[in-house]
Amino acid sequence: ILMAARLALAIASLVIALALDRLGGNLTVTEWHGFYGAVVVAFVATLGYRLFAGRIERVRPFARANIALDVGLVSVLVAFSGGSDSVFSFLYLVVAVYAAVLLSGRGVMGCAALAGVAYGAVLMLERAGWPGGSPVASDAVQRTVALASDLIGGPGFIKGHPIELMLRDVRA
């Protein structure tokens, strides 16, 4: 599931990026290199992890490391594609959803917290003018809190909620 999710993430990012480029996206050279570099890293990581498939003895730590890498890749995509105005911000939720399928409640909460911190870092870097972006609106902290609360407060993450119970049964 993890490799399929990452492959889908990489393909979706590439398709959206190519569509935006076609429609006249205004990426600087630095943004272009950083953005497409992150897409290439996502594809290479998927191929690299394929080499380890079947030889992994401790699946949960491997899944956690991969999900953390995916949050990092999404952060790079968001940072180099407009920061607070990026169309790729929704990918944090995609990573959280497949983390919910693969990990326990604590793992999902960790993923949500990491995504919130990563998005906040992207907004702070944008506010500081990196990578060549304009300063963000004063609601950067509010955006970060909203994303983290959406990730943490989703119904699938609440113990005893029907969706959580269904996911637990599927994992068993």
Distance from C-alpha of 15 to C-alpha of 10, rounded to nearest angstrom: 9
Residue 134: predicted pLDDT = 42
Distance from C-alpha of 44 to C-alpha of 112, rounded to nearest angstrom: 25
Residue 157: predicted pLDDT = 45
Tens place of pLDDT for every residue, the chain, 172 residues? 677 777 887 888 788 778 777 776 666 777 777 778 888 888 888 887 777 777 777 878 888 888 898 899 889 888 887 888 888 888 898 888 888 888 888 888 889 999 999 999 998 888 877 765 444 433 454 455 455 445 544 444 444 555 555 555 665 5
Whether residue 119 contacts residue 78, with contact meaning beta carbons closer than 8 Å, is answered with yes
Whole-model pTM: value is 0.67
Q: Is 163 left (phi over 0), alpha (psi -120 to 50) or beta?
A: alpha
